[in-house]
């Protein structure tokens, strides 16, 4: 039987972005193995991680613990992970590996070079892009450009990264619409909107609810929206933030300092995110960097208008005046103005939401699966020639 290895530095990259790929590869006759860090570095709880391990094992996937570090400065940890992965790949002998995440991508490609294993890499968003810090270009760009020579196929998920990757010395470069949005599933979700809003502590009729979904970290940039709400001084504005992460205490402190404890709610981890989306009025996505941004695409499928930053993969679907509004990530005044416009013009925001539910079909999961099947099939043909 053909055998392949999926490599990612954190288990969330496997769960959130590769479960469909694993099923697809098994359908294509591959014995799928997964190498990731199940022990630390993920935003998932221990119970969630154990559930993922059990599900993958029942699915017939072979699992390996690799002590990947997320911090680029922890060189001893990277050396240990390299040695662990090399031992596995030397013993197992894979037909190919598919690497994900920056650290997993670097170590996986270095080991593939040493073990002469064909290699595929999905860039879920280069850290260097138009408007990114100069340090990112100095650090990450040379690494990716060099490692591209060791990579048989690079898969990108937005247009800017695709154009950049085409300049690298890689045999084949593709662009896919992310992992895809299950638009039919999201459309099928129905709620009692007034009841859901009351349960989440907002006035069912008068409050205008903004929503963000994502890990609580510096990149997601929730602080800009919190400051924009403070600047507006509009008590009917409410802001829900769904997600967990290291920045929770910092955001809570900022909310208290700005006197917004009655307007900003940190909802934590939610298993009813689509229902929460359908209870909100507008999705805000002020990230400093996004390979694509699945949360925003899901919000579009749920019929919400968008207010986003104007960077990186977000520009593939966020269109000023059409899907909503775009502002520079740190433009507090600009976000405040966009929020107020969206709140005051119900007809406009409603029409934007309806438009988004149609536009997002270009990113449907069915299309992504078809693209990945084609890429995996062509990759097998490349290796055979």
Q: Tell me, what CATH number does 281's domain have?
A: 3.40.50.2000
Q: Are residues 173 and 223 in the same domain?
A: no
Say if residue 272 is in the same domain as residue 295: yes
Instruction: Indicate whether 263 and 353 sit together in one domain.
Output: yes
The set of residues, in sequence order, having a beta carbon less than 8 Å from that of 3 and lying 6+ positions away, is: 30, 31, 32, 33, 92, 93, 94, 95
Same domain, 220 and 324: yes
Residue numbers of the domain that contains 252 = 183-363
Domain co-membership, 97 together with 246? no
Helices (H), 207-331: 222-232, 248-257, 273-279, 294-301
Residues 180, 21: Cα–Cα separation, whole Å: 11
pLDDT of residue 383: 59
Verdict on whether the full-model pTM lies above 0.85:
yes
**249 vs 143, 217, 245, 254, 266, CA distance in Å?**
34, 11, 9, 9, 10
Residue 379 Cα distances to 26, 342, 372, 373, angstroms: 15, 46, 10, 10
Residue by residue, DSSP assigns 295-328 as HHHHHHHTT--EEEE--GGGGGT--BTTTEEEE-
3-state secondary structure of 371: helix
CA dist., res. 162 & res. 159, Å (int): 5
Residue 65: which H helix or E strand, with range? Answer: strand 62-65
Whether residue 239 sits in one domain with residue 219 = yes
What's the count of helices (H) and strands (E) in the chain, helices before strands? Answer: 16, 13
Statement to judge: residues 17 and 119 lie in one domain: yes
Query: Same structural domain for residues 240 and 311?
Result: yes
Contact between 73 and 50 under an 8 Å Cβ cutoff? The reply is no
Same domain, 249 and 304: yes
Determine how many CB atoms are found less than 10 A away from the CB of residue 135.
10
- Cβ count near 254 (within 10 Å): 17
Cβ neighbours of 282 (radius 10 Å): 22
| In a shared domain, residues 194 and 258 | yes
83 and 66 in one domain? yes
Q: Collect all residues with Cβ–Cβ distance below 8 Å to 250 and sequence separation of at least 6.
A: none
Same domain, 346 and 378: no
Sign of CA dihedral 267, 273, 277, 278: negative
Alpha carbons 119 and 135: distance in angstroms, whole number = 28
Q: What is the count of structural domains for the chain?
A: 2
Q: What is the pLDDT along the chain (385 residues), one digit of tens a residue?
A: 899 999 999 998 999 899 999 999 999 999 999 999 999 877 788 888 999 999 999 999 999 999 999 888 889 999 999 999 999 999 999 999 999 988 999 999 999 999 999 999 999 999 999 989 999 999 899 999 999 998 999 999 999 999 999 999 878 999 999 889 999 999 999 999 999 999 999 987 899 999 999 999 999 999 999 999 999 999 999 999 999 889 999 999 999 999 999 999 999 989 899 999 999 999 999 999 999 999 999 999 999 999 999 999 999 999 999 999 999 999 999 999 999 999 999 999 999 999 999 999 999 999 999 999 999 998 877 655 5
């Amino acid at each position: 039987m053909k055998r392949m290895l999926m490599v990612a530095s954190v288990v969330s990259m496997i769960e959130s972005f590769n479960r469909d790929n694993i099923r697809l590869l098994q359908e294509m006759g591959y014995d799928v193995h997964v190498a990731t860090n199940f022990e630390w570095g993920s935003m998932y709880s221990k119970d969630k991680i154990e559930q993922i391990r059990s599900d993958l094992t029942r699915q017939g996937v072979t699992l390996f613990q690799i002590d990947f570090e997320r911090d680029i400065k922890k060189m001893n940890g990277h050396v240990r992970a390299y040695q662990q992965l090399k031992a596995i790949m030397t013993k197992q002998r894979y037909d190919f590996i598919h690497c994900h995440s920056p650290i997993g991508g670097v170590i996986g490609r270095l080991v593939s070079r040493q073990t002469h294993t064909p290699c595929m890499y999905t860039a879920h968003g280069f850290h260097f892009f138009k408007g990114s810090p100069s340090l990112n270009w100095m650090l990450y760009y040379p690494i990716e450009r060099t490692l591209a020579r060791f990579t048989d196929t690079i898969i990108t998920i937005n247009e800017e990264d695709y154009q950049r990757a085409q300049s690298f010395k890689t045999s084949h470069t593709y662009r896919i619409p992310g992992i895809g949005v299950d638009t039919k599933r999201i459309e099928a979700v129905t709620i009692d909107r007034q009841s859901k809003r009351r349960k989440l502590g907002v006035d069912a009729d008068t409050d205008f609810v903004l929503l963000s979904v994502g890990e609580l970290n510096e990149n997601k940039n929730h602080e800009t929206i919190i400051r924009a709400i403070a600047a507006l001084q509009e008590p009917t504005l409410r802001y829900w933030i769904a997600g967990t992460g290291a920045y929770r205490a910092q955001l809570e402190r900022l909310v208290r300092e700005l006197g917004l404890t009655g307007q900003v709610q940190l909802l934590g981890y939610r298993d009813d995110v689509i229902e929460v989306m359908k209870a909100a009025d507008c999705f805000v996505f002020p990230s400093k960097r996004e390979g694509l941004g699945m949360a925003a695409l899901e919000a579009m499928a749920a019929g919400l208008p968008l207010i986003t930053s104007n960077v990186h993969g977000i520009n593939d679907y966020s269109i000023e005046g059409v899907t909503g509004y775009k502002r520079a990530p740190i433009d507090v005044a600009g976000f405040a103005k966009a929020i107020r416009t969206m709140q005051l013009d119900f007809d406009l925001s409603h029409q934007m939401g309806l438009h988004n539910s149609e536009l997002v079909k270009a990113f449907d999961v069915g299309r992504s699966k078809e693209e990945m099947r084609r890429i995996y099939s062509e990759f097998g043909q490349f290796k055979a020639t």
